[in-house]
Chain A
Amino acid sequence: MAISQQSVQRILLLPATLWLLVMLILPLIVVVIFSFGERGAAGGYVPGFTLEQYANLPARLTAFKNTLLLAPAGTLASLLIAYPLAYYLAVKVNPKLRTVLLVMIIVPFWTSILIRTYAWIYILGGQGLPRLLDFIGIEGIRLINTPTAVLVGIIYGYLPLMVFPIYVSLEKLDKRLLEASQDLGASPFKTFCNVTLPLSLPGVATGCMLVFILLMGEFLIPALLGGGKVFFIGNALVDLFLQSRNWAYGSAVAATLVVIMLITVSIYMKLILRHAKQRQDISVL
C-alpha cells in the first residue's frame, strides 16, 4: 500500500516542527510572559501583569551602556581591520592560495571561543605583553581587565565573521568595472571610492550585522578579559538567572536585548533592500 505524498511530507517535518515549537518558540514566549511577572520571595517567578520589570531596566544601565558602546566599537574595529584583508583575498591573492587562506580564516571561528579567549589572558596578563612593554621601556601598562582587553578579545573572536561577507561581495565584483574606471582616467584611489567601496557595501552591512548581533549577547569575552569590571548584558543575565534568581527582571532584560537585535536586523534589511533597488535602477539605465 502506498503512503500518500502528503503524509510522507508530514512525517518528515514532524520531529523538526515539534522540536522547534517546544525548544524555541515556547521558551521565547515564556520569556515574554515572565518579563511581565513579578519576582517570588525566594527568587523565581510569580505570575502577574506589571511593567515594573521594564521600568527597572535602568538599574542595569551600566551593562546596557557597556554593550551598546563596546559592541559598535568592536564591530567598527573589526570592519576596519577586516576590509583590507578581504580586499587582498578577493583581488590580489593567487587563486591557488586563496582557498587555503580562506579556510584558515574561518577555522579559528569554529573552534572553541573559550580556549581562544583564554589565550588572551596569557598575552594581556601581567606576564605577557605588559612585561614585554616594560622591557622596552614602556612601564605601568595594565591591559587585562580593561575595556581595551575586551575590545581586543572581540576583534580576535569576530574578525573571521567580518572578513567572509566582505570577501564574497568583493569577489563577485565585476573586474571590468575597475578597468573601465581606470581607462577613463580615474586614479586608483578614486576608483576604490567610486566603484569598489559602494559595490562592496552589502557585504560590509552583512558582516557588521552578524558581528553586532553576536556581540550583543556576548558573555565569555567580558567575563574572562573584563574581570568583572567591564560587563555586558550577557554578564548581567548570567548574574540575574544563576546568582540572584530574579527571573522576571532577567526576562525583561533578555526581551529588551532581543528587541534591540530585531531593530538592528530590520534597519539592515531596509538598507540592503534599498541598495538592491538602487542597483536595479542603475542597471535599467
Chain B
Amino acid sequence: MRLYAITIYLFLYLPIAIIVMFSFNAGRHASDFTGFSIKWYGKVLANPFAMEALATSLMVAFITAVCASVFGTMAALGLQRISGRLRAIFDAVIYIAIMIPGIVIGIATLITLVTVFNFINPALVTIWPVWLGEPPKLNMGYVSLIAAHTMFTMALVIVIVRTRISGMDRTLIEASSDLYASPWRTFWQITFPQIFPAILAGFLLSFTFSFDDFIIAFFVAGSQTTLPIYVFSSIRRGVTPEINAIGTMILTFTLTLLISAQFLLRRRDKSVNLKPQ
C-alpha cells in the first residue's frame, strides 16, 4: 500500500523533476545530460519576446487578482444577508462561472466582444468630436483578457471568502455594535481582520490562475502574447532547453504563491486585534 502511494507521488513529481533537471543541461538535446549549466536561463532573460510575454502576464495577473479580490469580497459581504430567490440566482450564476469550461468562456467572450466592438467602433467614428483627434478603436487585448480572467477568478474569491465569513465568530460583531461602534468601524476592526487571510488566499489563487491560463487567453488576448501563449507556440516549433528554463521559472513562481495561499487558508487566525488604537 505504501509502495503504491510512493509510486503515485513519483508519477506526479517525476515529470516536473525532469523539466527542472534538463533546464540545467549544458547540451541541447533531451537525450543526454552533458553537464550542469545555467546558460538557458541567460538565454531566456536575454530573449525580448519571452520577457515581453512575461511582463504582459504579470501585469494581467496582477490587475485580475486586484479586481477579483476587491469585487469578489464585496459580493461575498453583500450576499451575507441576502436570501431567497435572489440568493439562489446568484449561487447558480457563480456555479455556472466555475463549471463552464474555459474554452467555452474563451470563445463566448471572443465572439461577443468582437460583435459589440463592430457596433461601437463605427458609432465612435461618427460621434467623436474632431478636435479630440483620431477616435479610439476598441479591440481585443489587455482589457478583454483582464475582464475575462476577472469574471472567473471573482467567482472563486466569492466562494472562498463566503466560506470564511460563515465560519466567523458573530458574537464579536454583535459586541461591537452593542458598544456603539459604527458599522464601518465594526467592519474594519472586526470583520476585515477575520476574513483577510481568505481574501489574500483568493488574491494569490486568482493571480496564479490568470498567470497560468492558456485557453481563455488564446481566444481573447487579441494581438497580445502572454507567457503561456508564448510557451505554447514555442513548443509547436519544437522542444528546446529554453522552454525548460521558462517552465522551471513558472513552476517555482506559482509554487511559491500556492504554498503561501495554502498556508493562509489553513492557518486558524484567531488573533483578532482587540486592542484600542
| Contact (Cβ within 8 A) A28 B15 | no
CB closest chain-B residue, reference A123:
B15
| Contact (Cβ within 8 A) A12 B74 | yes
The reply on B208 being an interface residue by CB < 8 A is yes
Q: Which of B111, B115, B254 contacts A110 (CB 8 A)?
A: B254
| Contact (Cβ within 8 A) B151 A103 | no
Assuming the contacts A20-B97, A120-B15, A251-B111, asked whether A217 and B104 have C-beta atoms less than 8 A apart, the reply is: yes
The docked-state distance in angstroms from the alpha carbon of A214 to that of B102 is 9
Residues in A whose Cβ lies below 8 Å from that of B99: 213, 261, 265
What is A's interface to B at a CB cutoff of 8 Å?
5, 8-13, 15-17, 19-20, 22-28, 30-31, 34, 45, 81, 84-85, 88-89, 92-93, 99, 101, 103-108, 110-116, 118-123, 125, 127-128, 131, 156, 159-160, 213-214, 216-217, 219-220, 224, 234, 237-238, 241-242, 247, 250-251, 254, 257-258, 261, 265
Q: Which of A92, A93, A220 contacts B214 (CB 8 A)?
A: A220
Residues in B whose Cβ lies below 8 Å from that of A224: 235
**Main SS at interface, chain B:** helix
Residues in A whose Cβ lies below 8 Å from that of B1: 84, 88, 92
The reply on B41 being an interface residue by CB < 8 A is no
| Contact (Cβ within 8 A) A123 B18 | yes
Q: Which of B12, B71, B81, B215 contacts A159 (CB 8 A)?
A: B12
The 6 A-B pairs of least Cβ separation, nearest first, read A217-B101, A12-B78, A27-B108, A119-B15, A16-B75, A23-B151
- The 30 sampled A-B contact pairs (Cβ below 8 Å) are A11-B74, A19-B71, A19-B150, A20-B155, A22-B147, A28-B96, A31-B107, A31-B111, A84-B4, A85-B8, A88-B4, A88-B5, A101-B5, A111-B16, A111-B208, A112-B250, A113-B212, A114-B214, A114-B228, A118-B231, A118-B239, A119-B18, A122-B239, A123-B18, A127-B30, A128-B30, A159-B11, A237-B103, A242-B218, A261-B99
The reply on B160 being an interface residue by CB < 8 A is no
Chain B nearest CB from A273 CB (Å) reads 16
The docked-state distance in angstroms from the alpha carbon of A71 to that of B22 is 31
Chain B nearest CB from A105 CB (Å) reads 7
The docked-state distance in angstroms from the alpha carbon of A178 to that of B13 is 33
| Contact (Cβ within 8 A) B151 A156 | no
Within residues 240 to 270 of chain B, which ones have a CB less than 8 A from any CB in chain A? Answer: 243, 247, 250-251, 254-255, 258-259, 262, 266
Proximity bits, B108-139, A CB within 8 Å = 1, else 0: 11111001000000000000000000000000
What is B's interface to A at a CB cutoff of 8 Å?
1-2, 4-5, 8-9, 11-13, 15-16, 18-19, 22, 29-31, 70-72, 74-75, 77-79, 81-82, 90, 93-94, 96-97, 99-105, 107-112, 115, 147-148, 150-151, 154-155, 158, 183, 205, 208, 212, 214-215, 218-219, 228, 231-232, 235, 239, 243, 247, 250-251, 254-255, 258-259, 262, 266
Residues in B whose Cβ lies below 8 Å from that of A13: 74-75, 78-79, 82, 90
| Contact (Cβ within 8 A) A219 B103 | yes
| Contact (Cβ within 8 A) B15 A9 | no
Assuming the contacts A88-B1, A257-B101, asked whether A110 and B208 have C-beta atoms less than 8 A apart, the reply is: yes
| Contact (Cβ within 8 A) A122 B154 | no
Residues in B whose Cβ lies below 8 Å from that of A241: 107, 110-111, 219
| Contact (Cβ within 8 A) B19 A122 | yes
| Contact (Cβ within 8 A) A107 B96 | no
CB closest chain-B residue, reference A23:
B151
**Main SS at interface, chain A:** helix
| Contact (Cβ within 8 A) B82 A247 | no
Residues in A whose Cβ lies below 8 Å from that of B105: 24, 27
Instruction: List 16 extra interface pairs beyond A24-B100, A258-B100, A261-B99, CB under 8 A.
Output: A8-B78, A13-B79, A20-B93, A23-B109, A23-B148, A28-B100, A31-B108, A45-B111, A112-B254, A114-B212, A114-B231, A115-B251, A122-B30, A159-B12, A213-B101, A234-B215
| Contact (Cβ within 8 A) B110 A107 | no
Residues in A whose Cβ lies below 8 Å from that of B243: 118
Residues in A whose Cβ lies below 8 Å from that of B111: 27, 30-31, 34, 45, 241, 247, 251
| Contact (Cβ within 8 A) B93 A115 | no
Chain B nearest CB from A17 CB (Å) reads 8
| Contact (Cβ within 8 A) A26 B214 | no
Assuming the contacts A24-B97, A156-B11, A254-B108, asked whether A217 and B18 have C-beta atoms less than 8 A apart, the reply is: no
| Contact (Cβ within 8 A) A19 B31 | no
Residues in B whose Cβ lies below 8 Å from that of A113: 212, 214
Assuming the contacts A13-B79, A85-B4, A122-B30, asked whether A250 and B148 have C-beta atoms less than 8 A apart, the reply is: no
The docked-state distance in angstroms from the alpha carbon of A6 to that of B102 is 35
| Contact (Cβ within 8 A) A112 B100 | no
CB closest chain-B residue, reference A115:
B247
Residues in B whose Cβ lies below 8 Å from that of A25: 93
CB closest chain-B residue, reference A21:
B93
Assuming the contacts A125-B30, A216-B101, asked whether A111 and B12 have C-beta atoms less than 8 A apart, the reply is: no
The docked-state distance in angstroms from the alpha carbon of A121 to that of B232 is 12
| Contact (Cβ within 8 A) A131 B109 | no
The docked-state distance in angstroms from the alpha carbon of A237 to that of B216 is 12
The docked-state distance in angstroms from the alpha carbon of A99 to that of B259 is 13
